[in-house]
Amino acid sequence: MLKMTHLSKVYRTEVVETYALRDFNIDVKEGEFVAVTGPSGSGKTTFLTIAGLLETFTGGEYHLDGVEVSHLNDNARSKIRNEKIGFIFQAFNLIPDLNVFDNVEVPLRYRGMKSAERKKRIMESLERVGLASRAKHYPAELSGGQQQRVAIARALAGSPRLLLADEPTGNLDTQMARSVLELLEEIHREGATIVMVTHDPELAARAQRNVHVIDGQVVDLAEDPRFHAHVAQVAEATHGR
């Protein structure tokens, strides 16, 4: 489904070159549920934005659903984002000017779907996240957990094959986080491929597979000394409290 080989991403400013990703290799199979963990600044978000075709990369190869994406133009990339990928962001990213119904409708309109079909899908996915009764509400009138569930409904409405979530529970309390995760697991059981970036080891543990990123690289946890250093650091920090 998603295969990156020797992929690199460099951010250049006038003074520095930052390697956000270097020699990054990952292969996510169709139907997998992968959790991506790693310290802050290690390149998790960068990986996800490239995976979701929100950004281009500097070197290497990226095959999405068997297609090498570096040659696609902006319109083709928009079309893939619209049809194959669902996004869930840490900051929910609902459009504040639109009510819940209209928010979920956004990707469907860009797909050029007929009105009746749109309405059916919107109500289905809102029911799924338990918010059908809030269709006329504006994002500001909802709690964080509800907003994130609307965002999930928006990602689901287009029936994407790949769901990309960047710390989807980062802004939620534990209980809401759990309900969001249950929703993702349910979606996964129905066949979607899910890649979720998370800080939370408890959530990561519930995924089928964990991928750890350090300094822009995927590392094998058992062998990499940097991982042990990281664990020690976290342990120290926890003790320190």
Partner 1 sequence: MQIKPILSALRQHKAGTVLIAMQIALTLAIVCNALFIIQQRLAHLSEPSGIDETHLFVVENQWVGKPSPDQLDAQIRADLSALRQLSSVQDASVSNSYPLHGGGWDDGLKLKPDQANATTEAAIYFADEHMLATLGLKLIAGRNFRADEIGHMGIRDALAPPVIVITKALAEKLFPSVDGHANAALGKTVYLMSNRTTIIGIVDQLQSQSVARWAADFAHRSVLVPLRLVSPQGTYYLIQAKPGQLDAAMHAAEPTLLAQSRKRVISDKDGLLSFAEVRAHAYDSDYGMAVLMGIVCVVLLAITAAGIVGLTSFWVGQRRRQIGVRRALGATRRDILSYFMTENLLISSGGALLGVLLAVTMNLWLVIRFEMQHLSLLYVFIGVAILLLLGQCAVLAPAMRAAQVSPVEATRTV
Ligand X SMILES: Nc1ncnc2c1ncn2[C@@H]1O[C@H](COP(=O)(O)OP(=O)(O)O)[C@@H](O)[C@H]1O
Name the site residues for partner 1 (rule: CB under 8 A): 45, 48-49, 52-55, 74-75, 78-79, 81-83, 87, 89-91, 93, 95-99, 102, 105-107, 109-111, 154, 158, 166
Residue 20 vs 162, nearer CB to Mg ion: 20
The residue count for the chain:
241
Region of 87 please: left (phi>0), alpha (psi -120 to 50) or beta. Answer: beta
Burial of 195 (0-12, 13-18, 19+ CB in 10 A): buried
Question: Does 14 contact ligand X by CB under 6 A?
Answer: no
Question: Does 90 contact ligand X by CB under 6 A?
Answer: no
- How far CA 138 is from CA of 96, 147, 149, 150, 192, in Å, comes to 7, 10, 13, 11, 28
Mark 103-132 with x for binding to Mg ion (rule: CB under 5 A) and - for no binding: ------------------------------
| Residue 106 touches which member of partner 1, Mg ion, ligand X, none, C-beta under 5-8 Å by kind | partner 1
Extract the tokens encoding 39.
């310290």
Piece in contact with ligand X (CB under 6 A), picked from 22-30, 37-45, 122-130, 174-182: 37-45
Residue 45 vs 169, nearer CB to Mg ion: 45
Coil, helix or strand at residue 5: strand
Total residues at interface with Mg ion (CB under 5 A): 1
Piece in contact with ligand X (CB under 6 A), picked from 41-49, 57-65, 150-158, 233-241: 41-49
Question: Does 168 contact ligand X by CB under 6 A?
Answer: no
Rg value, the chain, Cα = 18
Coil, helix or strand at residue 25: strand
**Residue 31 identity:** G
Which residues bind to ligand X, rule: CB under 6 A?
11, 18, 20, 38, 40-46
